[in-house]
Amino acid sequence: MNMDRQKPSAFKQSLWQMPAIIALACLIGLAVNQLRPNGLPLVGDWSQGARFSDATGDSLVVSLETAEQWFRQERVLFVDARSHKEYVAGHIRGALSIPWQEVDRYFIEAVERMEGPHTIITYCDGETCDLSHELALFLKEMGFENVRVLVNGWTLWTQAGLPTDEGE
Amino acid sequence: MYHTARIVLGLIFLFACYDKILNPGEFAELVYNYQLLPDSLVNVAAILLPWVELALGLCLVFNVWVPGAVVVGNLLLVAFFSSLLFNLARGLDISCGCFSTAPGEEAADYLTVLRDMSFLLVSGYLFYAALLSGPPAAQKTGRLQTETE
């Protein structure tokens, strides 16, 4: 075969083409990102406070200690953002169920019970679970001013041995 | 067959990157929700990945640097597919960042798996055709290498 002296094999070509493609893409991507108006910071703020903030950028996060304190003082209303099935299996004592994934339906039923001078605290389960955050933003849009988020609420609450209920 | 596959895969990458380039913030949230990278690398990945896809898509569609594009494309698709399977296995729902008590329930998950598998089939075939087998592919891709001919 006289192919060999004519051109490098496809495999050999790939060896320089791979870094070339990646380098070119990275250079252009980086340049565009730095120049565009909605470019991302190279290292993002993925802290809890940043991830669970409201429209103005203020953090909605409330600590377990504060949540428990307000609970004891009976000035809080918990709202469970998880699925209804998970709520029935166990929820923070006194909490309402507004599964984020069915929010329209459950919110209408629950809204009357939500009025009052208390602080609303939404929660779901898991450090990265965003349901509570989405629900909190929604509630603020609906006009509730005093809304906070207890991140990883269900796990923290149960691990601390705080009061829970089961059923509807 | 080879050229059809090449163009199909190229178009797949072009369609995939389009939204990610236009909405980097949303894509960064998706990358974060996969919970596979350290927080400090999330934005860099979200910034660069779509452009790599764009480059791959253009290379494949316009028949430029195809061997390199095919290898990088395969690596990328294998990485995406593995990430998908890993998160399915640990029950992480990337749309909300929640670990569900009943993982893998959603029909949508299986559809995504099938979709990614079909992409892998196309790119796997191209890997074979462009790099492992002989003349037809090599001649086409060798064109840029050998001006002296």
Q: pLDDT tens digits for A97-151?
A: 999 989 999 999 999 899 889 999 999 999 889 999 999 999 999 999 999 999 9
Distance from the A32 Cα atom to the nearest Cα atom in chain B, whole angstroms: 9
Q: Is residue B64 part of a domain?
A: yes
Which chain A residues contact residue B137 at CB under 8 A? Answer: 10
Residue ranges of chain B with per-residue pLDDT less than 70: 100-108, 134-149
pLDDT of residue A83: 92
Which chain B residues contact residue A132 at CB under 8 A? Answer: none
Distance from the A119 Cα atom to the nearest Cα atom in chain B, whole angstroms: 24
The pLDDT confidence band at residue A4, using thresholds 50, 70 and 90, is: low
CB pairs under 8 A between A and B: 131
Q: Is residue B83 part of a domain?
A: yes
Average pLDDT of chain A is 92
pLDDT of residue B91: 86
Which chain B residues contact residue A46 at CB under 8 A? Answer: 32, 39, 42
Q: Does A9 touch chain B (CB under 8 A)?
A: yes
Distance from the B148 Cα atom to the nearest Cα atom in chain A, whole angstroms: 9
Contact A129/B40, CB-based, under 8 Å? Answer: no
Range of the domain at B86: 2-132
pLDDT of A29 higher than 90: yes
Q: Is residue B53 part of a domain?
A: yes
Residues A48-94 pLDDT 10s: 999 999 989 899 999 999 999 999 999 999 999 999 999 999 999 99
Per-residue burial over B65-102, b = 16 or more CB atoms within 10 Å of its CB, e = otherwise = bbbbbbbbbbebbeebbebbeebbeeebbbebbbbbee
Which candidate in A76, A92, A120, A124 is catalytic?
Answer: A124
The chain B residue lying nearest A135, using CA atoms, is B96
Q: Is residue B102 part of a domain?
A: yes
Contact A44/B142, CB-based, under 8 Å? Answer: no
Which chain A residues contact residue B21 at CB under 8 A? Answer: 32
Q: Does A31 touch chain B (CB under 8 A)?
A: no
What whole-number distance in Å separates Cα of residue A1 and Cα of residue B63? Answer: 25
Q: Is residue B79 part of a domain?
A: yes
- What is the ipTM score, two decimals? 0.84
pLDDT of residue A151: 96
What whole-number distance in Å separates Cα of residue A36 and Cα of residue B25? Answer: 13
Query: How many separate domains does chain B show?
Result: 1
Q: Does A26 touch chain B (CB under 8 A)?
A: yes
What whole-number distance in Å separates Cα of residue B24 and Cα of residue B4? Answer: 31
What whole-number distance in Å separates Cα of residue A140 and Cα of residue A145? Answer: 6
Most B CBs within 10 A among A21, A127, A151, hence the mutation to make, goes to A21
Contacting residues for A55 by C-beta, under 8 A, at least 6 apart: A137, A140
DSSP result, B26-41: HHHHHHHHTT-S-HHH
Most A CBs within 10 A among B60, B70, B75, B98, hence the mutation to make, goes to B98
Q: Does A46 touch chain B (CB under 8 A)?
A: yes
Q: From the list A6, A21, A125, which residue is nearest B146 (CB)? A: A6
pLDDT of residue B96: 80
Which chain B residues contact residue A30 at CB under 8 A? Answer: 47-48
Contact between A87 and A122 under an 8 Å Cβ cutoff? The reply is: no
pLDDT of residue B149: 41
Active site residue A124: yes
Q: Is residue B30 part of a domain?
A: yes
> Taken in order A69, A72, A74, A78, is the CA torsion positive or negative?
positive
Q: From the list B42, B47, B67, which residue is nearest A14 (CB)? A: B67
Contact between B98 and A126 under an 8 Å Cβ cutoff? The reply is: yes
Average pLDDT of chain B is 86
